[in-house]
Chains A and B, each alone.
Chain A
Amino acid sequence: MTAGESYLIKQISVFSENRPGRLAAIAAALKEEEINILAFSIAEADGFGVVRALVDKPDKAYAKLSARGFNVAFTDVIAVQMRDEPGGLFEVATLLGTAGINIEYAYAYHSRDAAVLIIRVDRAADAAKVIKEMGGKLLSTITIQ
């Protein structure tokens, strides 16, 4: 096991039609199982979208949503901790740029003591390693899930 692996976080990605109530249906299913949604983002095309969510119990969420008939996939993402002050985002962006890591998409959430940027990159394990080496702060899998 390499050092980067414990920083890979399982995001659930759910296919959804752009119809009223689909997001609510996903949220309701997760709530029934007492699964917390830490962060989510929605990407849309015309007619459909993908709901990406970071939850505290991803396996349980996967099982529940699949049972409800949703199409669900796991995606490895990494969570970079930002200084919760102006310039925090810039720092992270600079770090990733220097490391040559290409961001496919990102979204953020606030934990109790920091702002967290969820990023989806190619070869997440390698990216996590590079970020750690360059002094970036990553949230480990254990702290979230």
Chain B
Amino acid sequence: MQCWDPRMEFLPREDLERLQYRLLKLLVCRLYHFSPFYHHRMESARVHPDDINTLDDVNKLPFMYKSDLRDSYPDGIFTATTEDLVRYHVSSGTTGKPTVVGYTAADLHNWTDSLARGLSSCGLGRGDVVQVCYGYGLFTGGLGLHYGAERIGAAVIPASVGNTERQVEMMQDLKATAIACTPSYLLHIGEVAERMGISIKNDTSLRVGILGAEPWSERMRTRVQDWLGIKAYDIYGTSELSGPMFSECSAQEGFHVWGDLALVEVLDRESGEPLGPGEEGEMVVTMLQKEALPMIRYRIGDITSMETDVCPCGRTHPRVRRVTGRVDDMLIIRGINVFPSQVEYTLMTIPEVGRHFQIVVDRKGSLDDMLVRVEVSPEGISDRIQDLIKVRNTVEQKLKNTLNVTVEVELVEPGSLPRFEGKSKRVIDRRNL
């Protein structure tokens, strides 16, 4: 089995927790004294570093939000001086100001090391050719995976996003064994390859997909693996944590959050109480070693669950299950919580429709109307109108059963819905206009 840092990755659980406590204590002391932002936050919450005496005491610390980063634009929360910074990344905000993340040399080292552990744990290493199809530049995806793959001795194709036909040619000609991209872009590549008469399963050397930057589903994994003949691994991160950080191991049972780098909590969304293993709630992350932009109890807004037992792969670090939704992606339709990922799950079970979809929410009178537009797949096409109406009714019924909300379905032509080459926006909410 490939392993990047066996000593750390297999550290006994008790030792790992002791290490986490020490790192947390040091972090809190440092920030209380040197960060005006965190000093003020802790004062307001009436917490002093002396109150942190066990790992569980983390829940005495105040939360930090995305809005804090925006309010402190560009570098109000930074605790490193310009002399110590070696890189910036900037993420475009959907509302208002962007988020700026600064890195010290140690931050870049830890980020890259985290990815080196993850990529090794899904069987990559020297001799592999990794096609990185995340955007390069201000977005963290491209450069993050780039340096991570280089560190484990793989050869990197810095392909970035776009020009999909050329991506397929490079994949074939340079014998790429792994691809890192968003799941929706991989589907797009697969479709384009087929149109070019190339089967990724039979005509390329691709065997691993490192997929992230947007939520996807277990069913999508099965479909991608069967269709493209690869193993698909979930990778997780956001620019605030450094970038893509944590990936699944060969067990494919959630991504390992390296405990020496991050302390992850899953909390009940209403009460804020910690939840047990397997229970779904909001993920909150404390970065234990970040220097330039420290993050304590950051509410990323992702909904997931955590497993704390030792992984089948033998690693002791906790695993976080794939993100099932985002707090801010969540739609409230007639008072019921609806996640776009649930729509995706459902569509995966219906071969007569495609993988892409769009949700349009509108308000007719006082009632919310939810319309889901789906593409008819080659399996769904018929010369009989009744057959197509049956397909539409099936989709409506299955969505209703899953979401507990009545949904109207519109069948559209294949290829007519927008394809996403970056982060996807699959919801159009017209209620606020």
Contacts and interface: CB of A to CB of B under 8 A. Distances in A.
Contacts of A13: 381-383
A15 B376 contact: yes
Interface residues of B, number: 19
Contact of B388 (A11, A50, A70, A120): A50
B411 to A, nearest CB: 5
Nearest to A120: B383
Of the listed residues A13, A15, A45, A69, the one surrounded by the most CB atoms of chain B closer than 10 A to its CB is A15
Interface in B367-405: 376-378, 380-385, 388-389
B16 interface: no
A70 B381 CA distance: 10
A73 B411 CA distance: 16
A140 B322 CA distance: 58
Using C-beta atoms within 8 Å of the partner chain, give the interface range for chain A: 20 to 34
Contact of B381 (A15, A43, A69, A120): A15
Interface in A61-84: 67, 69-73, 75
Interface stretch (B54-62, B122-130, B413-421): B413-421
B108 interface: no
Contacts of B384: 43, 50, 104-105
Given A45-B389, A71-B378, A52 B413 contact: no
B33 to A, nearest CB: 62
Contacts of A22: 413
Interface string A29-67: 000000000000001110111101000000000000001
B412 interface: yes
A17 interface: yes
Interface string A81-111: 0000000000000000000000011000000
B410 interface: yes
A71 B381 contact: yes
Given A69-B414, A70-B413, A71-B376, A48 B383 contact: no
Given A45-B388, A45-B389, A48-B388, A73 B413 contact: no
B9 to A, nearest CB: 47
Contacts of B383: 11, 13, 50, 52, 73, 75, 120
Contacts of B416: 17
B381 A73 contact: yes
Contact of A71 (B195, B385, B389, B413): B413
A120 B383 CA distance: 9
A16 B378 CA distance: 13
B385 A50 contact: yes
A71 B414 contact: yes
B413 A72 contact: no
A17 B388 CA distance: 12
A50 B388 CA distance: 9
30 contacts: A11-B383, A13-B382, A13-B383, A15-B376, A15-B388, A15-B413, A17-B412, A17-B416, A44-B385, A45-B388, A47-B410, A47-B411, A48-B376, A48-B410, A48-B411, A49-B385, A50-B385, A50-B388, A69-B413, A69-B414, A69-B415, A70-B413, A70-B414, A71-B376, A71-B380, A71-B381, A71-B413, A72-B381, A73-B381, A104-B384
4 shortest interchain CB distances as A-B pairs: A13-B383, A75-B383, A69-B415, A71-B381
Given A13-B381, A47-B411, A69-B413, 9 more contacts: A11-B383, A22-B413, A43-B384, A43-B385, A47-B410, A50-B384, A70-B414, A71-B377, A75-B383
Interface of A: 11, 13, 15-17, 22, 43-45, 47-50, 52, 67, 69-73, 75, 104-105, 120
Interface of B: 195, 376-378, 380-385, 388-389, 410-416
